């Protein structure tokens, strides 16, 4: 098979890109996209790829989903932009109505719309600080919340996200995360450990917000041990702090529920969403308890494009598609097919230290077999990169993640067909074989 790096049209585009696109913005594969639809992508050289990335958990309804395309077209014909702060419009209100219905908790809610996940997280912190009159924000090891100045401070990993970009925002405190593969703690013990750190290092009455991804994304698809999330949420409530769930990567049916918090019966005070909300159009939201959201004075929240009408129309079509096709159930079915296949791979390749995840958010953590170091099983980022490279060469769009760069993650669009899923998993197996990861 021809290596995509040598595909002629992509090579020419790459040459043009290198002359004008900043080096700091990098791409995972050397091929350029021509079209993408459903669970596949075709590059400018006519090569088809199986999509296990969904644009980083964005195109949950598939790329160019028919209803989204039609809604975007129809809205663009009506009007493209007025700025909601100048002349408001119905699609914004309707998205907020949907968010009030779909997010966990039956209490009265309000939402504010933004453009990116990072912007939503920044605003959630602004709202929590304003509502509590406190400043400290508690975040966790391995967290990822964005690349803006405040969200860099909230994000854990230095390289590539923070290196050389300081000074960072203050009053951010990082505490240990439940990471069962490495800490071997129960959810209750890990929560007690984190809470002790908050109480000793920050002080319960200084905490404005506790911010957490219910399943960590960029940090390594880390699923906290059962009970951790509810215990942290309960502590935040008792401390008078705002509990913020960052569901930007986990939301909109990705984990088999509308939101991952629902799997543990957790009702966050505020929830940040983006990515899967609008089928690829830039939209993000903060949704939460009316009394917290409405603490902010009129004019205190906003932005030129936040809740752009085309993005809102796309979100409404996305939500309709998620509902009509029951894509939460589809995410659970993806797990039913993929997990046994991944466990079979783990039985064959001792480098796979753990298979984990939920729904269509699945991961393999790669380690040096039989070696235990100070972090527990020794991470193997080189093997991880080799498998990802082999997958790309075979035509599988596959991402890695993790603080130690040693996690392979699967994020297929939820509309992926059984055949595409099967082909993708087969290519993943072939990538392990081609990468010369040692088999048993
Ligand atoms: N919170 C939980 O996953 C975005 C970032 C990729 P934006 N994750 C992908 C990269 O390298 O930049 C993310 C997330 C969680 C916040 C964000 C930030 O969302 O829309 O990228 O700003």
Relative to the CA of 284, which ligand 1 atom is closest?
20
Q: What pLDDT was estimated at residue 437?
A: 77
Q: Helices 66-78 and 309-324 meet at what angle, rounded to 10?
A: 150
* Atom 16 of ligand 1, nearest CA residue: 145
**What per-residue confidence (pLDDT) applies to 439?**
81
Report CA(346)–ligand 1 centroid distance (Å).
Answer: 28
SS (H, E, C) 425-436: HHHHHHHHHHCC
Domains in the chain, CATH or no CATH each: 8-61+326-439 (3.90.1150.10), 66-324 (3.40.640.10)
Query: Which pLDDT belongs to residue 2?
Result: 44
Q: Specify the DSSP element, H or E, that contains 246.
A: strand 242-246
What per-residue confidence (pLDDT) applies to 144? 98
Torsion of CA 414, 419, 424, 429, to 10 degrees: 130
Query: 297 exposed, middle or buried (CB, 10 Å; 0-12, 13-18, 19+)?
Result: exposed
126, 114 contact by CB (below 8 A): no
* Distance from Cα 274 to the centre of ligand 1, integer Å: 9
Cα separation, 194 vs 174, whole angstroms: 9
How much distance in Å is there from the Cα of 157 to the middle of ligand 1? 13
CA of 13 to the centre of ligand 1 (A): 26
How many helices (H) and strands (E) the chain has is answered by: 14, 16
For the CA of 274, the nearest atom of ligand 1:
20
Q: Name the residue at shortest CA distance from atom 21 of ligand 1.
A: 117
pLDDT of residue 289: 98
Query: What is the value of pTM for the model shown?
Result: 0.98
pLDDT confidence of residue 6: 56
Residue-level pLDDT at 440: 78
CA of 212 to the centre of ligand 1 (A): 13
Most informative mutation of 27, 60, 114, 118 for ligand 1 (most atoms within 8 A of CB): 118
- Blockwise average pLDDT, block size 10, the chain, 440 residues: 64 96 96 96 96 98 98 98 98 99 98 98 99 98 98 98 98 98 98 98 98 98 98 98 99 98 98 98 98 98 98 99 98 98 98 98 98 97 98 97 98 98 98 88
What is the atom index within ligand 1 of the atom nearest the CA of 275? 20
Q: Which residues line ligand 1 (CB under 6 A)?
A: 56, 116-118, 121, 144-147, 213, 217-218, 246, 248-249, 274
- Contacting residues for 90 by C-beta, under 8 A, at least 6 apart: none
Question: What pLDDT does 40 receive?
Answer: 97
Query: 343: which residues sit within 8 A by CB, 6+ positions away?
Result: 355
The pLDDT value recorded for residue 147 is: 98
């Amino acid at each position: 098979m021809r290596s995509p790096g040598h595909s002629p049209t992509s090579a020419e585009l790459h040459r043009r890109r290198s002359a004008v696109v900043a080096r700091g913005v990098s791409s995972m594969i050397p091929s350029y996209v021509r079209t993408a639809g459903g669970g596949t992508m075709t590059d400018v050289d006519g090569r088809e790829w199986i999509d296990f990335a969904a644009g980083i958990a964005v195109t949950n309804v598939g790329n160019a989903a028919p209803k989204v395309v039609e809604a975007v077209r129809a809205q663009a014909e009506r009007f493209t932009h007025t700025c909601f702060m100048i002349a408001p419009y119905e699609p914004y209100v309707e998205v907020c109505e949907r968010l009030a219905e779909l997010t966990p908790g039956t209490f009265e809610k309000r939402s504010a719309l933004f453009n990116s996940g990072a912007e939503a997280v920044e605003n959630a912190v602004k709202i929590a600080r304003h509502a509590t009159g406190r400043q400290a924000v508690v975040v966790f090891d391995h967290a990822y919340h964005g690349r803006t100045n405040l969200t860099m401070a909230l994000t854990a990993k230095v390289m590539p996200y923070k290196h050389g970009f300081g000074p960072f925002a203050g009053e951010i405190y990082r505490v240990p995360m439940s990471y069962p593969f490495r800490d071997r703690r129960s959810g209750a013990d890990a929560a007690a450990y984190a809470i002790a750190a908050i109480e000793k290092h920050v002080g319960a009455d200084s905490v404005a917000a506790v911010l957490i991804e219910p399943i960590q994304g960029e940090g390594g698809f880390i699923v906290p041990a059962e009970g951790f999330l509810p215990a942290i949420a309960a502590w935040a409530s008792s401390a008078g702090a705002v509990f913020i769930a960052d569901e930007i990567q986990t939301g909109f049916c990705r984990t088999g529920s509308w939101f991952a918090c629902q799997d543990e019966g957790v009702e966050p005070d505020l929830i940040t969403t983006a990515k899967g909300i609008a089928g690829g159009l830039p939209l993000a939201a903060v949704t939460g308890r009316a009394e917290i959201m409405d603490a902010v004075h009129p004019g205190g929240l906003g932005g030129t494009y936040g809740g752009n009408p085309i993005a809102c129309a796309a979100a409404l079509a996305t939500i309709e598609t998620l509902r009509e096709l029951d894509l939460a159930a589809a995410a659970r079915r993806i797990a039913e097919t993929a997990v046994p296949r991944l466990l079979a791979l783990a039985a064959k390749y001792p480098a796979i230290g753990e298979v984990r995840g939920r729904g269509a958010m699945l991961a393999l953590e790669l380690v040096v077999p039989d070696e235990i170091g100070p972090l527990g099983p020794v991470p193997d980022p080189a093997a991880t990169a080799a498998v990802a490279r082999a997958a790309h060469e075979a035509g599988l769009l596959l991402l890695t993640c993790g603080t130690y760069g040693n996690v392979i993650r699967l994020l297929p669009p939820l509309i992926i067909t059984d055949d595409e899923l099967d082909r993708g998993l087969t290519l993943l197996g072939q990538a392990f074989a081609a990468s010369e990861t040692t088999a048993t």
